[in-house]
Amino acid sequence: MMTRIRRAQLDPQLLAEAAQMIRALGHPVRLKIVELLEGGERCVSELQDGLDAPQAVVSQQLARMRAAGIVRCRRDGVNMRYAIADERVIRVLDCLRHCDVPLRRAH
């Protein structure tokens, strides 16, 4: 017989914030952008190169994450430089890197 460990319930506000973050990160391009930003601030062209994606796609995904408070930007001459604004997203990536759940389902 397996014994279940009783865990404390999560605060409803925390759950709402977590759901918002998960929705904002819920796209492979956005997750890859955050992964690229782990190494530090980058401009859109550097992110384009790392993603092999068009500027319009990168800018659209950055705008969504900026609106959610996940990334921030600053002007550097003619470039906009992006960085992680909410360090919790790094923990989300770490959870993905270390989880034991297979990423692909068997058919």
pLDDT of residue 1: 59
Q: pLDDT 10s digit of each residue in the chain, 107 long?
A: 567 777 878 888 988 988 999 999 999 999 999 999 999 999 999 999 999 999 999 999 999 999 999 999 999 999 999 999 999 999 999 988 888 666 666 55
For residues 21 and 88, is the Cβ–Cβ distance under 8 A? yes
Q: How far is CA 63 from CA 4, 7, 97, in A?
A: 42, 36, 25
pLDDT of residue 65: 96
- Containing 84, the helix (H) or strand (E) segment is strand 79-84
For residues 49 and 58, is the Cβ–Cβ distance under 8 A? no
pLDDT of residue 104: 64
The CATH number fitting domain 15-97, selected from 2.40.50.140, 1.10.10.10, 3.40.720.10, 3.40.630.10: 1.10.10.10
- Structural domain boundaries in the chain: 15-97
pLDDT of residue 2: 64
Q: How far is CA 33 from CA 19, 48, 76, 100, in A?
A: 19, 9, 19, 23
